[in-house]
Amino acid sequence: MLDTNYEEAVTHLNPINAELASLESHAESSLPGIKSNACAPLSPTNNAQVRCRPFLAEKLVCSRDLCQGSFALKSPHLAETFAYIAWSISHNRNAQTVGAVTVPLEKIYTDAVERLQEFHAVQDIPLKQRMVDHPTHWLPPLPTQYKANSDGAIFQDTGLAGIGVVIRDFEGMVLAALSERIPLPSTVEDVEALACRKAISFSIELGLQDVVFEVDSEIIYRHLISDSTCMTAFGHIVDDSRWLSKSLRSASFSHVRRNGNRVADKLAKLAKFLCEPQIWIEDIHRDVILDSSFLPS
């Protein structure tokens, strides 16, 4: 077997161990196809053929050995290609059993390459961080709009969380505010996403039509303004927020530094002492109004 560190290989094998276990029971019939297809990317050039020849000559006991060998070669994406080819051969065998359509053996490698290219094309590509000057204090919306700030707070000692929402006009006057206690979600991002969704639904209940929804979580903000489906654990909450916002005549999202979101933060923390949601119309809790950050700059 090619020289490789077994423990390191096993670490990488975890995602496909289930598939390998299935393949091992059919090793005798599967290995020839896997070997010939897994090395297909090495065949176009003579140098590649030289590297591949000793690999093909290996006496492999099971598909696990072959997988470890693919890691030992350290060829870009070879392990991924092997995993897909192994799955394709297993899938073909099962499809033949039930009379379903199969992929011709000679086309499995091409299919694997195309599928992997498609997979890598839709992954998040790290982008150079742009220097975005997010405001550090609350800024009023346009005269024709309202701004709804939201925030979340976690109460680990009680296993609960709080969300706070404050809606203001262009003069900084409070139209409405909300403080609500909720069961503790899995992550901080979940709480922030739920708070934003509440701000949107609250605005709809008040009959508002032109609203800017502002959050202090850059993660949530970036997902809200993205055109792509949010694939995170809190993605369904983000998608709900986008969908709800479409019922408004005009809705947009903005980001502010934490210091500029202190009113919503205070309302979220206030929820710890509430048994029921608290709503204020053209008013706000007395402890919050004392905060000077409430006044527009």
133 — pLDDT class (breaks 50, 70, 90): low
Lowest-pLDDT range of 110-114, 126-130, 192-196? 126-130
Residue 84 to residue 81: CA distance in whole angstroms: 5
Q: Average of pLDDT values for 242-256?
A: 96
Which of 55-64, 157-166, 225-234, 246-255 has the weakest average pLDDT? 55-64
User: Do 215 and 200 contact (CB within 8 A), yes or no?
Assistant: no
The pLDDT assigned to 163 comes to: 97
- For residue 174, the model assigns a pLDDT of 95
236 burial (CB, 10 Å; 0-12 / 13-18 / 19+) is exposed
DSSP 252: E
Residue pair 295/194 in contact by the 8 Å Cβ criterion? no
Longest dimension (CA), the chain: 80
For the record, the structure tokens of 135 come out as 């405001």
* Report field, pTM of the whole predicted structure over 0.85: no
Total residues found in the chain within this entry: 297
Percent of the chain's residues with pLDDT above 90: 45
Looking at residue 212, what is its pLDDT?
98
Q: Smallest Cα–Cα separation from 203: which of 256, 160, 253?
A: 253
Domains and their CATH numbers in the chain? 6-121 (no CATH), 146-294 (3.30.420.10)
Q: Print burial letters for 143-171: b (CB count within 10 Å at least 16), e (below 16).
A: eebbbbbbbbbbeeeeeebbbbbbbbbee
Most confidently predicted of 16-20, 40-44, 94-98, 117-121: 94-98
Of residues 296 and 58, more confidence is placed in: 58
Q: Quick one: DSSP state of residue 134?
A: -
